[in-house]
Amino acid sequence: MTNQRNPRGPYRKSAERREQILQAAYEAIDEHGERASLQDIADRVGVTQPALTYYFPTRDDLLLAVLERRDMRGKEIAGAAASGKGMVEGMAASARHATDHPGLAKLSVTLSAAATDPESPAHDYFTERYRALAAEVTQELEAQQKAGALRADQPADHLARAVLAVMDGLQIQWMHDPTVDIAAIAETFARVLAPSAGAGQEAKRRDHPGH
């Protein structure tokens, strides 16, 4: 994935302007959700709406770029937490990131739902988004399986899709009922993916049948 969706800005100044607009949109949606207006976003940067349209031809282009940035931040946060304290803390951090930024979480859910329609302009984008996310998470989980930090009795690509599904589904439940502690549920889910002592012993027995 790349943040340079619009190749028309050939100069550095143009790239900076695009980045300013994207960051302003990210912050406006973080604060106000999808109700954030293009005018509000243009005002934050000090440009006109047509200038904004030069960088992001449609509202959807801008919203998808914001979602891309949210995906990236989410991965950084989950990755940082996981590298220190393992997958349980990584998934909890990911859930907390969602509930700390409800406007961005809601953007993700509603854009994704709208794009399930094959005729939606964002349909192909989401197909590729999930494919890329699934591939990345699979790679990460395979590494954890090799390191003995994740149960290795189930295929990593299935577990990766399940992890993504659980995070999507929990965000939806939280939006319907903010009293649901989805960080705690995400932790529980991460725990069922831990290699159990029994499974480890069983694997050892398989590897060293004489012992």
Helix (H), strand (E) at residue 78:
helix 59-85
Rounded to a whole number of angstroms, the distance between the first and last alpha carbons of the chain is: 48
CB of 70 to its own copies, least distance (A): 16
Beta-carbon count within 10 A of 187 CB? 18
Angle at CA 148, nearest 5°, toward 145 and 149? Answer: 80
Torsion-angle region of residue 33: left (phi > 0), alpha (psi -120 to 50) or beta?
left
Residue from 53, 130, 136, 149 touching its own copies (CB under 8 A): that is: 130
Q: 47 or 182, CB closer to its own copies? A: 182
Contacting range for its own copies; rule: CB under 8 A; set: 6-14, 53-61, 69-77, 197-205: 197-205
SS3 46: coil
The one among 3, 39, 201, 204 contacting its own copies by CB under 8 A: 201
Q: Which of 14, 106, 142, 149 binds its own copies (CB under 8 A)?
A: 106
CA 206 – CA 103 distance, rounded (Å) = 49
Of 45 and 115, which has the nearer Cβ to its own copies? 115
Site membership for its own copies, residue 114 (CB under 8 A)? yes
Cβ atoms of 163 and 137 within 8 Å: the answer is yes
* Residue 83 vs 116, nearer CB to its own copies: 116
**Residue 10 Cβ, how far from its own copies at the closest point, in Å?**
33
Q: Rounded CA gap, 160 and 151, in Å?
A: 13
Out of 123, 136, 142, 149, name the contact with its own copies by CB under 8 A.
123
108 contacts 171 by C-beta, under 8 angstroms? yes
Task: Answer yes or no whether residue 115 interacts with its own copies by CB under 8 A.
Answer: yes
Question: 184 is written with which tokens?
Answer: 């705690």
Q: Does 37 bind its own copies (CB under 8 A)?
A: no
Interacting residues toward its own copies by CB under 8 A: 106, 109-110, 112-117, 123, 126-127, 129-131, 134, 151, 153-155, 158-159, 161-162, 164-170, 172-173, 175-177, 180, 182, 184-185, 188-189, 191-193, 196-202
